[in-house]
Structure 1
Amino acid sequence: MKWATGTATTRGEPRHEGALLRALELLETSRSVWLAEPESFAERRREEKVMHRRTPRREETRYLYGRRWPGPQAKEAILGEVARLWAMYSRAPFPDVPSADKGELAELDMWLAGCVSTYLADKGELDTWRRDILVERLPELRGHVARLGHPLTYPAGFDNFRCLLRMTELIVHDTDS
């Protein structure tokens, strides 16, 4: 995560040394949690393999893909980052994209932006139906972002849908929702 995300939990406080030190402590704590997760995962996988469980459960691997905020105050940090990204995303018009993909991207935008908007309106809560929409449409969004980014002939489309991808991944990997 970015430094801005860590300091999002100290909003309203002046940018003085104490606020910055609290933000740094939050980042250090989150980093410690993030570094401990692979070790914990490896230990659980060893135990499961002894019991002949060769495939990890989905909830065990969801943190390996995409953006998230480990550690304390994760909900507040994710909510702050999604709100920051949403402010940029919602002001932008629908970007120029390949005409062959425009219909699919418009539909994808409608569904995912609606879920993001609901997540923010409900202060970080999302019902199962909308969470399932995000999870099901995330691979499709990743594919479109990859195509829009290479070759970079649609920079506004790439930036727009990459922002939507970031928000979607953060919400999907929000542990409290």
Structure 2
Amino acid sequence: MSFRVYARRVRDHDLPFGRRCRALRDAVGCYCPLGFHGTWSYLSTAGDLRNDETALLHALEKLEGSRTVWLQEVASFADRRRVDKTRHHRTPRQAEVRYLLGWRWPGPDGKQAMLGEVGRLWATHRRSPFPDVPAGTKGDLVELDTWLAGCVSTYLANDGDLDQGRQNVITKCLPKLRRYVAQLGYPWSFPEAFAYFRLLLKMTELIHNDKAQQGGG
């Protein structure tokens, strides 16, 4: 079923409250810009979603508001692509596609949502030991981990602010980190390393997209 169907069920006072809460989870399954767990975690800041109707409806409004902004962005992208194709520019810019489909929270709550998700992921990442990695890659991966972990820590310590120097570090390191995560994921020989660096990649991309969303890059 569609996002709109689930949203109507959340608002349906004739349904048992438990079904309405499950309908919100199903709506998150249809639209989860931070991933399912990250999106649900942010919506849970509205209150006790399992017992409080006001919190449930407020969470749905947050989700709908973000989705509306994202759909507007998709429509604008489609319009630009139609114009580009008339000019024989057939391939969209990779950076624009990554941003449109990447980890972020479109809309006015974006900074708060993305800051919260980076903090949630960082709490897991900082407890994880550095994993076993393929021979010959450890030096690069340690360097990436050190530089980017420093950027994440600074971003959180400064409530989402990041100086231009650290933004430049992220911009420089992201392509290399993406390549390493892809290599670690196939063949499936280093699952712990893949999970470790995929988490680092998600945090880094969230910060990168947060700064872009604020007009900072």
TM-score interval (norm. to shorter): 0.7 to 0.9
Q: 1:58 to 1:159 in 2, by over 3 A?
A: closer
CA distance in 1, matches of 2:60, 2:46: 16
Q: 1:154 to 1:81 in 2, by over 3 A?
A: same
CA distance in 1, matches of 2:37, 2:63: 8
Does the CA contact (< 8 Å) of 2:99 and 2:209 recur in 1? yes
Does the CA contact (< 8 Å) of 2:178 and 2:201 recur in 1? yes
User: Is the counterpart of residue 73 in structure 1 residue 75 in structure 2?
Assistant: no
Partner of 1:143: 179
Query: Percent identity between the aligned chains?
Result: 54
CA distance in 1, matches of 2:128, 2:176: 21
Shift of 1:27: 0.9
**In the alignment, which of 55, 79, 83 is matched to residue 43 of structure 1?**
79
Query: Mind listing any 5+ residue stretches in structure 2 that lack a counterpart?
Result: 1-33
Q: 1:150 to 1:60 in 2, by over 3 A?
A: closer
Amino acid across the alignment from 1:105: L
Q: 1:12 to 1:35 in 2, by over 3 A?
A: closer
Partner of 2:53: 17
Does the CA contact (< 8 Å) of 1:5 and 1:80 recur in 2? no
TM-score, normalised relative to structure 1: 0.86
C-alpha distance after superposition, 1:87-117 (max 9, x if no partner): 0000111111112111100000001110011
CA distance in 2, matches of 1:42, 1:69: 20
Shift of 1:70: 0.6
Partner of 2:158: 122
How many residue pairs get matched? 176
Shift of 1:22: 1.1
Partner of 1:91: 127
SS at the partner of 2:114?
Answer: helix
Ranked by relative contact order (alpha carbons within 8 Å, sequence separation 6 or more), the top structure is 1
Higher Cα radius of gyration: 2
Does the CA contact (< 8 Å) of 1:67 and 1:170 recur in 2? yes
TM-score, normalised relative to structure 2: 0.72
C-alpha distance after superposition, 1:57-87 (max 9, x if no partner): 8885552353111112000000010000000
Q: 1:3 to 1:86 in 2, by over 3 A?
A: closer
